[in-house]
């Protein structure tokens, strides 16, 4: 069976987000917090899919997102962990302390 679709796909806007849509989404999340993503398009009037709202927040608008190049220390950590763990997809927190 699976989960029902997040939206009916009719009348849903696709493509780049406008600055106005970003403001609406950020304002709503600042007031209500991130959470019930399925209710956001209905409560805000955004003609976007709930998944699109969640991804926009998570990948672009969320405070604290670091953009740009890695610092020298971050790059060293990545290289060290790659050498230590290889390409394993899953690692336990205890693996990181070795």
Decide if 53 is inside a domain: yes
| pLDDT tens profile 50-75 | 999 999 999 999 998 888 899 999 99
Q: Which domain holds residue 97?
A: 68-98
| pLDDT tens profile 25-35 | 999 999 999 88
Q: How many C-beta neighbours within 10 Å does residue 49 have? A: 21
How many domains does the chain contain in total? Answer: 2
Task: Tell me, yes or no, whether 57 and 85 share the same domain.
Answer: no
Decide if 4 is inside a domain: no
Can you tell me the distance from the alpha carbon of 20 to that of 26, in angstroms, rounded to the nearest whole number?
10
Can you tell me the distance from the alpha carbon of 19 to that of 25, in angstroms, rounded to the nearest whole number?
10
**DSSP-derived 3-state class of residue 49:** coil
Q: pTM of the prediction?
A: 0.67
| pLDDT tens profile 38-56 | 999 999 999 999 999 999 9
């Amino acid at each position: 069976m699976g989960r029902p679709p997040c939206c009916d796909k009719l009348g849903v806007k696709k493509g780049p987000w406008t600055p106005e849509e970003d403001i609406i989404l950020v304002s709503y999340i600042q007031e209500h917090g991130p959470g019930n993503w399925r209710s956001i398009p209905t409560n805000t009037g955004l003609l976007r899919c709930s998944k699109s709202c969640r991804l926009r927040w998570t990948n672009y608008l969320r405070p604290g997102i670091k953009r740009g190049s890695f610092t020298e220390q971050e790059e060293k950590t990545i290289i060290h962990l790659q050498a230590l763990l290889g390409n394993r997809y899953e690692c336990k927190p205890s693996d990181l302390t070795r």
